[in-house]
Amino acid sequence: MAISEFSTPFRYKTDKSSPIRWLWSHTIHLWPMFVVAMLGAIGNAALASVPPLEFGTAYDTLISGTPLMQVALRAAVIIFLSQSARGVFQFFRNFGFEVTAQQIERNVREEFYINLLGKSMTFHSLQSIGDLMARATNDIREVNYIFSPGINMVFGSINFLFIPITVGAAIHPSLILTPVIFLVLYFLSIARYLKILEPVTRNVRLYFGALNSRLAEDIDGIETVKSAAQEDSEIALFKANIQAYRDTSVQQGDIEARFLPMLLLALAMGFGLMHALLLVRQGAIGMGSVLTYFSSLSLLGFPTNTSIRSYSQISLGLAGARRLLSVMNMENNLDKNDEGHAGKLRGEVEFSHVSFAYTSETATLKDINLVVYPGQTVAVVGQTGSGKTTLARLINRTYDPDQGSVRIDGVDLRDWSLDSLRSQISIIEQDIFLFSKTIAENIAFGKPGATQEEILVAARKAQAENFINALPEGFETVIGERGVTLSGGQRQRLALARAFLTDPRILILDDSTSAIDSQTEDEIQKAIMLAAEGRTTFIITHRLSQIRWADLIVVMKEGLISSIGTHEELMDTSESYRNIFTEVQ
């Protein structure tokens, strides 16, 4: 069972061992509406047998000498009343299945979303956003279609398969032969149809995910594509994905076109009529019975015609459900530990023989030993790929070490309550993520209940108040997705304002001033120095202005701590540090 690091569980327990069990565990919670749908399906099918019976009765009554108007009036009244009642049952069937389908889609979407939020960064760093979006949108929609029109049509029509058997048995025992043979061959052909269709529908969903994944990558990286003039090559790759998706969809259509039950229906109608006429010739039944029997056989057309699409839809939906479960059942490597240690951080951080690798081939961190005391400011420097960012990610349990331990205030991070831990640690990255919301809402993202005054004070401390007030609507200005309407420095200051508002005990700045000009850096530097007061602060940077005033400088090289000390000490003792200092100077 996958463990979620997210605290909010889904409303009820579901069985994720297989797509059918999973969907049933959702359906059982909607049983009242499902029962309404099933009763509607049974009533609809039962009343569908009334017209065939009445046609035969009317014919026999007419040839006995009863006036036409009297026969017609009686038949019309019976058929009108029965089919009016059948319409009510059909409404309940369609309504019940549609409501069930919509509610299951809502619940599945909510469960999948909660599950995604509960996955660790190890999981998300390995996933394609486009493919996840395809699963979260289109695959979940296909699950809806399992119930309506899928199961709606299957259960709504399957009862019709048994009407000719009942009617035939009432007329003459031998007349059950044709519908019984049809029924056996029908289910055998459906089983074979689904067996052939299943891998094809699975590939349809797979190639749709790949198509969506490529599209998302191209849109997200559109600036890179255009700057490298690679539009034509990306279009070619996209066409290849479309071709694969189209080919599997055509293959699905080809299988549906060779749907065997359609041939079985034609044979059943022909043999059934021939059999009934032979019985008339023998004097065993009358022509009215032939009319009734043949009319009942015609009801087989409804389940046969609808099953072409309904079973395909169910197969597609199950393929979608299987793709959803493949994500939901992926093992999560972080345990939220709700019952773990909780309390206010002092800010002491200790790495003890810590090693970590994203993949089994290469270790990113190797035997890290480091102690940082509460309130210290630590600058982490090193060449690209030396492990600086990974070191920071271990502090808030974005990842867990493969070997050794990371302790805060003497407590192993795995023994902390994840909520308590992360609520007191703030990370500001180079690529600040801002939501398409107002400035105020973005600042208050980590503290949704913050007052306007608290937001204003946080913005002021972050040196952001002036540029915010210069915007058209001030704090109520809606910024574009990812903050593209703001400069890099402005985004950094909003991120600092978030940190001031949440008042973290540990602050991590990951190369957060690398892409700004010197004037903006001065403003942000003031905010950083203010933010670092009374907090344990880790600064991953190459900026000399930030390196120099750090209490401790950690030099990383190829996943190892090369040296530790102050600026003056390292200039005398560390060649790696002198090289970095010379480069950035």
d(CA 338, CA 443): 27
d(CA 75, CA 69): 10
Residue range 349-584 forms a domain whose CATH class is alpha beta
Residue 406: what pLDDT? Answer: 93
Q: How confident is the model over 527-551, as a mean pLDDT?
A: 79
Q: How confident is the model at residue 184 (pLDDT cuts 50, 70, 90)?
A: very high
Local structure of 563: helix, strand or coil? strand
User: Which of 229-238, 328-337, 340-349, 355-364 is the most confident on average?
Assistant: 340-349
Q: How confident is the model over 452-465, as a mean pLDDT?
A: 86
Per-residue CA distances from 562 to 193, 514, 573 (Å): 65, 23, 11
pLDDT at 517 over 60: no
d(CA 541, CA 479): 27
Query: HSE on the CB side for 582, CA within 13 Å?
Result: 7
Q: What residue has token string 């540029």?
A: 467
| pLDDT over 70 percentage in the chain | 89
Backbone φ and ψ for 354, nearest 5 degrees, come out as -85, 130
Q: How confident is the model at residue 9 (pLDDT cuts 50, 70, 90)?
A: low
| pLDDT over 90 percentage in the chain | 17
Residue 175: what pLDDT? Answer: 92
Backbone φ and ψ for 515, nearest 5 degrees, come out as -120, 35
pLDDT at 555 over 70: yes
d(CA 460, CA 443): 12
Residue 208: what pLDDT? Answer: 84
At 181, the amino acid letter reads I
Q: How confident is the model at residue 156 (pLDDT cuts 50, 70, 90)?
A: confident
Q: How confident is the model over 294-313, as a mean pLDDT?
A: 86
Residue 7: what pLDDT? Answer: 47
Q: How would DSSP label each residue in 244-307?
A: HHHHHHHHHHHHHHT-THHHHHHHHHHHHHHHHHHHHHTTSS-HHHHHHHHHHHHTTHHHHHHH
Q: How confident is the model at residue 514 (pLDDT cuts 50, 70, 90)?
A: low
Core vs surface per residue 532-564: b (16+ CB within 10 A) or e: beebbbbbbbbbeebbeebebbbbbbebbbbbb
Please tell me which residue, 385 or 409, carries the higher pLDDT value: 409
Please, what is the Cα angle at 89 between 85 and 90, to 5 degrees?
Answer: 110
d(CA 201, CA 248): 8
Q: What residue has token string 């319409």?
A: 87
Q: How confident is the model over 378-393, as a mean pLDDT?
A: 86
Residue 547: what pLDDT? Answer: 79
Please tell me which residue, 152 or 227, carries the higher pLDDT value: 152
CA-based nearest residue to 317, from 129, 106, 105, 156 = 105
According to DSSP H, which parts of 283-402 are helical? 287-298, 301-328, 388-395
Q: How confident is the model over 375-379, as a mean pLDDT?
A: 89
pLDDT in tens, 30-69: 889 988 988 888 888 788 878 877 776 777 676 766 676 7
- Given a contact cutoff of 8 angstroms between Cβ atoms, the answer to whether 510 and 488 are in contact is no
Q: Please state whether 446 falls in left (phi above 0), alpha (psi between -120 and 50) or beta.
A: alpha
What residue spans define the domains of the chain? Answer: 19-328, 349-584
The residues facing 411 across adjacent strands are 408
Token representation of residue 440: 């105020």
Please tell me which residue, 40 or 228, carries the higher pLDDT value: 40
pLDDT in tens, 77-112: 888 888 898 889 989 989 999 999 999 999 999 999
Extended beta strands in 425-505, E state: 425-429
Residue 134: what pLDDT? Answer: 82
- Given a contact cutoff of 8 angstroms between Cβ atoms, the answer to whether 159 and 42 are in contact is yes
- The fold of the 19-328 domain, in CATH, is ABC transporter transmembrane region fold (1.20.1560)
Average per-residue pLDDT for the chain: 83
Q: How confident is the model at residue 461 (pLDDT cuts 50, 70, 90)?
A: confident
Binning the chain into helix, strand and coil, the percentages to the nearest 5 are 65, 10, 25
User: Which of 2-16, 263-277, 349-363 is the most confident on average?
Assistant: 263-277
Residue 583: what pLDDT? Answer: 57
Query: Poorest-confidence range of 138-142, 229-233, 460-464, 474-478?
Result: 229-233
pLDDT at 371 over 80: yes
pLDDT at 491 over 70: yes
Q: How confident is the model over 395-421, as a mean pLDDT?
A: 88
Question: pTM for the whole thing?
Answer: 0.67
Residue 522: what pLDDT? Answer: 66
d(CA 279, CA 9): 66
d(CA 436, CA 451): 20
CA 435, 441, 443, 446 torsion-angle sign: negative
- Given a contact cutoff of 8 angstroms between Cβ atoms, the answer to whether 300 and 158 are in contact is no
Token representation of residue 94: 């369609």
